Amino acid sequence: MYKILEKRQLNSQVTWMTLDAPFIARKVQPGQFVIIRIDEKGERIPLTVADFNREKGTVTIIFQAAGFTTKKLAQMNVGDSILDCVGPLGMPTEIDNPKKAIVVGGGVGCAIAYPQAKALHNMGVETTVIAGFRNKDIVILEEEMRNVSDNYFITTDDGSYGQKGFVTEVLKALLEKDNYDLVIAIGPIPMMKFVAKTTEPFGVRTIVSLNPIMIDGTGMCGGCRVSVGGEIKFACVDGPDFDGHKVDFDELMRRNSFYREEEAHACRLEESING
Amino acid sequence: MADMSPCKVKMPEQDPLVRNKNFKEVSLGYTPEMAVAEANRCLNCKNKPCVSGCPVNVQIPEFISLVAKGDFKAAYEKISETSSLPAVCGRVCPQESQCEGKCIRGIKGESVAIGRLERFVADYYMENFEKQIPQIAANGKKVAVIGAGPAGLTCAGDLAKLGYKVTIFEAFHTAGGVLVYGIPEFRLPKKIVAKEIDGLKKLGVEIMTDMVIGKVLSVDEIIDMGYEAVFIGSGAGLPMFMGIEGEGSVGVYSANEFLTRINLMKAYLDEYDTPIKKVNSVAVVGGGNVAMDAARCAKRLGAEHVYIIYRRSEEEMPARKEEVHHAKEEEIEFKLLCNPKRIIADENGYVKGIECIKMKLGEPDASGRCRPIEIENSEFILDVDSVIMSLGTSPNPLIRTTTPGVEANKRGCLIVDENMKTTKDGVYAGGDAVTGAATVILAMGAGKSAAAAIDEYLKKQ
C-alpha cells in the first residue's frame, strides 16, 4: 500500500499528490514514471513523476482528472492509500551538457516539464521555460517554474493571461533570435508535434515525452509502441523520451484515442488538455 | 490386471458452443470413479518410461497406483515430493510430448491420461484437505528470487523446504507470472494459482509485488541487502512484431497485451476498470498455445469470426494438441499455410483487413520443421477489425543490462552452466529467461535444478 501524504488542487482539474514510496524515491530520475493501481479492480495507469524527495522517501504525481482512474484518484484524500505504485519505470531524460535549453510545457504537461526544468537549472544550464495553457484559470506551477528558470514565458490560447497564442510562436521567436542546443517539449500530442516542426528547421535537438496506452510498463504488453524514425519502439522501456523529429505523432494520436469511447478510461495526461 | 481399454476415460467438458461464450473452465475434471478407472489402465512398468519424460521427475506409476487404490491423499503427497504445482501442471503441461508421449499404452491406443489424473489428485486434495505445513528448521540464510512465475515459484518453494528464508521480487501486482497474465481462466482458474501461491507463503516465502528488478533495485543491491544467492526467473516477456505495413494501426495488439487485459486485469468482467475493445472479426497470427488462448478469448468476448493465421500446417503447430482441438470445437477458423503481408487500415487508421499470402512447405529448416515458402500471386484479404500478433516473446533486457557480470547470448537469453549458475557468482537463472519462450513445466524443472544448485553452493559458504 502506498499512502497519500499530501494533496493540493493546482486548478479545478489538476491535482498534486505526494505518495509514500521509499523504494521508488531512492532511485527515480527526471523523465521516469510510475504505474499506479488504486484498488483490486482498478486499471494500471502510468503517471510521470513530477518531483521526489529521497530523504523523506516520497514521490509527487500531478494529474488531471481526465479518465476513469484519474477521476477516482482525485477523490482520494491524505491518509488514504493506493494499492500499487510501481517504478521508477522508463529511461531518465538524457541531457548531455547543453548550455542553453528551452523547456516547453503544455497544460498539465507542465507537471512533467517541471522536473526537467529543475534538473537543467540545477546543472547550471541557462533554462528558458515556455508554458502554455488554454486560459488563465488552468495555469499551474507558475511560481515553481519561475524558480527553476532564467526566463519564463506564459501563453494562453484566449489571451486571458500572459501572451495570447501558442507556445510555438514564442519558441520560434526565441530560436530566431538566439542559439539553443536543447528543446524539451511535454504536453498534448499536437503541441509536441508542432514544437518539433518548429525546431526542425533550426536543427535544435528536441526531446518529447510520450505517454501512450500502457499496461505493465516493463516492455511486456507492447501497447505503448510508437514509430520512431520508422522503427517500433516501446515508450515504457525505450522512452518515454524520444527524438521529437523522428516520432510519428499522427499514429500515436490515433492509437491513444482507441479506448476513448469506452469512456475516458484514458491513461494519458496530455491529450485532453489544450486539445 | 490392468484395464486394457484402448481409450482414456473421457474427460467431462463444457459443451463447446456454450463454453465459447463464458470464461469458466473448459474441462470439468474426473470424478473419483473416473480417476480410479483410468488409473487401472496403468501397467505400472518397471522401467517407468513416463517418468523420464517429466521435467520435474514426478513418480508417475507410484502416484497412479495410489489413485487406483482410492488413496488420493497419498497420491497427492507422492506427486508433491517432486512437483510444487500439481494442479497447474495437470492442466497446462504438454503431456503428449512428455510423460504421456512415452507411455507404453500409447503404442496401441491412447496413453494413460497422466495429466488428467494429476489434475484430479491435486483438485481432490485442495478440496478435501488442508495442506500440511512441514516443520522446517530455518538455516538462517536468505535467498532472493526474481520473478513469481513457474520457475521462481518452484525455486522458492524448494529452497523454503530446505530451510532458506526466501523473498520473491515480482514486477506485477500479483504473483504467478504467465499463470496469471497469460493462461486464461478457462484453462487455468486463477483461484488454483492463488491457492498454490498461498501454500508457498505458508512455507514462509515472502512475496514483494510491484518490484521491477533492474529499476527499483539492482541484483547487486539485492545481494548487498544480505541475500546470499539470487535466482533470476524473469521469463521472456517481450512480444515480437512482424514489422509489416500497418502494424501500428489501431486494433493491432500483441497477444501479451490482449491476454494481460483479459487475464490479469480481468477486463472481461464489468466490475473491473481496465477496458477492452469489443471485437467482431479477429485475426490471430501464430500457432502456439498463446495464439490459441488469444483466439479463444476473442471468441468469448463475442467475436463472430476468429481466425488463426499460421504459416505452416497443423502438423507443425507448436500448440498442445488438446488446445488446437478445443479451439476447433469452439469454432475458431484455421487459416493454415498462410502468412500476413500487410495490415490494412481505414481512413482513421483502424484495422479493416489483413492481406495474407498462401504458403507451401519446403525443405526442413534449422528448427527441423519444414520451411514455409510463399506461393506467388496467391494473396487474399480477410476482413477483420482486430489483429493479435502471437509470434513469440523474448527475454526482458532489464536485468541483464543492469547486472554487471551476468552475460546473455545474442538472443538476449541469460547464459548459465549445467548447474543453472550465470556468469556471476551466487547468481542463478532458469526458465524462459534462459531458454527463451518455452513451457511452464520446463521452467519449473529449471527452478528445481537451480534450487538444488543454490543449496549446494550455500552449504559450502
Residue in B241, B253, B260 closest to A232 by CB: B241
Residue in B210, B271, B273 closest to A84 by CB: B210
CA distance B459 to chain A (A): 31
**A264 residue type, one letter:** A
Q: Which residue of B has its CA nearest to A221?
A: B257
Q: Which of A214, A88, A220, A21 is nearest to B213 (CA)?
A: A88
What's the CATH superfamily of B142-237+394-459? FAD/NAD(P)-binding domain (3.50.50.60)
Which H or E run contains A198?
Answer: helix A189-199
Cα–Cα distance, B187 to B210 (Å, whole number): 26
Residue B16, burial from CB neighbour count under 10 angstroms (0-12, 13-18, 19+)? middle
What's the CATH superfamily of A2-89? Translation factors (2.40.30.10)
pLDDT digits (tens, 9 = 90+) for B85-142: 889 999 988 898 899 999 999 999 999 999 999 999 999 999 998 877 778 889 999 9
Q: What is the pTM of this model?
A: 0.91
Domain boundaries, chain B: 16-128, 142-237+394-459, 241-391
Residue A158's pLDDT is: 93
Cα–Cα distance, A121 to A123 (Å, whole number): 5
Contact B272, A39 (CB under 8 A): no
Cell numbers linked to B77: 503427497
pLDDT digits (tens, 9 = 90+) for B173-202: 999 999 999 999 999 999 999 998 998 999
In sequence order, the 6+-apart residues with CB closer than 8 A to the CB of A56 are A25
What's the CATH superfamily of B16-128? Alpha-helical ferredoxin (1.10.1060.10)
Dump strand ranges (E) for B278-332.
Answer: 281-285, 305-310
Phi/psi at B16 (nearest 5 deg)? -55, -40
Is A27 close to B243, i.e. CB distance below 8 A?
no
- Is 60 exceeded by the pLDDT of residue A270? no
Phi/psi at B278 (nearest 5 deg)? -70, 130
Q: Which of A105, A156, A108, A112 is nearest to A128 (CA)?
A: A105
pLDDT digits (tens, 9 = 90+) for B215-231: 999 999 999 999 999 99
| Rounded average pLDDT over B422-451 | 94
Residue with cell 536543447: A182
Residue with cell 550455500: B458
Mean pLDDT of chain B: 94
pLDDT digits (tens, 9 = 90+) for A29-68: 989 999 999 999 999 999 999 999 999 999 999 999 988 8
pLDDT digits (tens, 9 = 90+) for A97-144: 899 999 999 999 998 899 999 999 999 999 999 999 999 999 999 999
Q: pLDDT band at residue A261, thresholds of 50, 70 and 90?
A: low
**A102 residue type, one letter:** I
Pick the CATH number of B241-391 from 3.50.50.60, 2.60.40.1120, 2.60.40.10, 3.40.50.1380: 3.50.50.60
| Rounded average pLDDT over B22-36 | 95
CA distance B233 to chain A (A): 15
- Is 60 exceeded by the pLDDT of residue A263? no
Q: Which of A130, A89, A52 is nearest to A234 (CA)?
A: A89
CATH number of A100-256: 3.40.50.80
Q: For chain B, what is the radius of gyration of the CA atoms?
A: 23
Q: Which residues in chain A are contacts of B217 at CB distance < 8 A?
A: 23, 27
Q: For chain A, what is the radius of gyration of the CA atoms?
A: 17
Domain boundaries, chain A: 2-89, 100-256
| Rounded average pLDDT over A143-156 | 95
Residue with cell 495429466: B115
Contact B291, B298 (CB under 8 A): no
Cα–Cα distance, B316 to B321 (Å, whole number): 11
Contact A187, A104 (CB under 8 A): yes
Phi/psi at B51 (nearest 5 deg)? -65, -35
Q: Which residue of B has its CA nearest to A219?
A: B238
Contact B440, B179 (CB under 8 A): yes
Cα–Cα distance, B335 to B308 (Å, whole number): 6
